[in-house]
Amino acid sequence: MNTNADPVYVAAGLRTPFARVDGDLHQLDAIAVSVPVVQAMAKLLTPGAHPDFVVWGTVMPSLGMSNIAREAVLDSGLHPATPAFSTVLACSTSMAATFEAASMLGSGGRELAIAGGSESMSRVQFGLNQNFSDWMRRLIQARSFGQRVDRFAQIKFRDVRLFIPTVTNRTTGKSMGEHCEEMVREWHIARETQDRLALTSHERAVRAMANGFFDDLIAPVGEVTRDSLPRANTSLERLAKLSPAFDRSGKGTITAGNASPLTDGAAGVWVANAGGLKRLPSHLPHVQLVDWELAAVNLKTEGLLMAPAYAIPRLLARHNLAFNDIDLWEIHEAFAAQVLCNVAAIENRDFLENKVGVHAEFGAFPWTRVNPNGGSIALGHPFGATGARILSMAIKELAAMGAGKRAIVSICADGGLGTVALLRAV
């Protein structure tokens, strides 16, 4: 919830082109892919000026850094006195960074921040499992040849293993796709409905690219200037031929075609109060960040990616808004099924009253207002960057609609978490 007494604004930031894992950005780690974005955003300020602070995050761990925000500041050439701290909230990381930045505005004269994140799925680092790491540390600490011999005698073959990060939940051991298949069964979401949403995502992203919508939202990385993931040649027939990726029992519905792909990229967004807004170029699209909501569900008894179905109704009810009062919906498409499940839930009165605890009439959900320029299925999903990417797209689209128009931006996240923002054009 926004507790800042003064209005908080978010302005459209920049991002790298998004690329499939092992694709155009495969040589850049999470820091290196962040640098072009931070540099390009900083160049929008008056020469010599810099943001008051930076909040940045990445999801997949790296042994070479503990504070990617600070490393990105230093490697980008921002003033070394710029404070920076890191955050992580799975797929909601850079949206959470935005909320944290908003909460800090006004304190200590802070007016302007960069919030964002990055992910390099091509440079995921393997490590040693814990027992092997413990043994290696004791070996390094040995002070004599005899101690080293003793340490070597203590190693057990079964402990000599690598730790390989996976896109699975630590508590359940299941992948996001496996969890989403469980949601599909609970909410009775058809495969064809998922494929139709995926096709719409690609069609809208391809159209937006052709119309230049992304041109002022992307900072080139070397010769890479455009997203490589949206497919102009996909169709329902092509999507229908794809095999289920997570449930091969014959009942699976989620495929590589109706799920977001593993992606490399970085994205940032501006967060400002009235004073900070004056420091940004006047042409930069900006809107008010009216309020936000964070939610969590018991992932052992509910769908892992269902938290937005709690956050959205609470946020709307707090402002006495119905679905039709929202002019733009930007919903993260981790999977087409996840979007469909969450919408089915927030349209369900029994769910709203007995699970969410919200007693309100929201009306019919306006599907025509969702993700007009494509979503994560088509554009890609670098975990740490998606929040800033989806916010910048919403900001640009909403600002063009005119003062008073509203948007909801929603992201689900691993761990049974979700973040939702309410924006208003000014």
What residues are labeled active site? 91, 381, 412
Same domain, 134 and 191: no
The pTM (predicted TM-score) of the whole model is 0.94
Residue 86: inside a domain: no
Q: Print burial letters for 250-279: b (CB count within 10 Å at least 16), e (below 16).
A: eebbbbebbbbbbbbbbbbbbbbbeebbeb
On whether the CB atoms of residues 143 and 151 are closer than 8 A, the answer is no
Instruction: Check residues 68 and 127 and name the one with the higher pLDDT.
Output: 68
Does 23 fall in a domain? no
Mean pLDDT taken over the chain: 95
In the predicted structure, residue 61 carries a pLDDT above the cut 90: no
Query: Quick one: pLDDT at residue 277?
Result: 96
The mean pLDDT of 326-341, rounded to a whole number, is: 98
- Does the pLDDT at position 69 exceed 70? yes
Cα atoms in the Cβ-side hemisphere of radius 13 Å centred on 372: 17
60 φ, ψ (degrees, to nearest 5): -75, 130
Least confident of 70-84, 114-128, 309-323, 376-390: 114-128
Q: Are 376 and 332 in contact (CB under 8 A)?
A: yes
CATH number at residue 314: 3.40.47.10
In a domain, 105, yes or no: no
Closest CA to 119 of 62, 49, 175: 62
Residue 133 forms part of a structural domain: yes
How many distinct structural domains can be found in the chain? 2
Q: What is the pLDDT of residue 416?
A: 97
The predicted structure's pLDDT at residue 162:
78
> Is 32 contained in some domain?
no
423 beta partners: 289, 407
Residue 197 within any structural domain of the chain: yes
* pLDDT, tens digit, 9 for 90 and up, residues 220-239: 999 999 999 999 999 999 99
Q: How confident is the model at residue 4 (pLDDT cuts 50, 70, 90)?
A: low
Q: Which domain range does residue 404 map to?
A: 176-212+290-425
Q: Which range has the worst mean pLDDT, 208-212, 246-250, 262-266?
A: 246-250
Same domain, 159 and 180: no
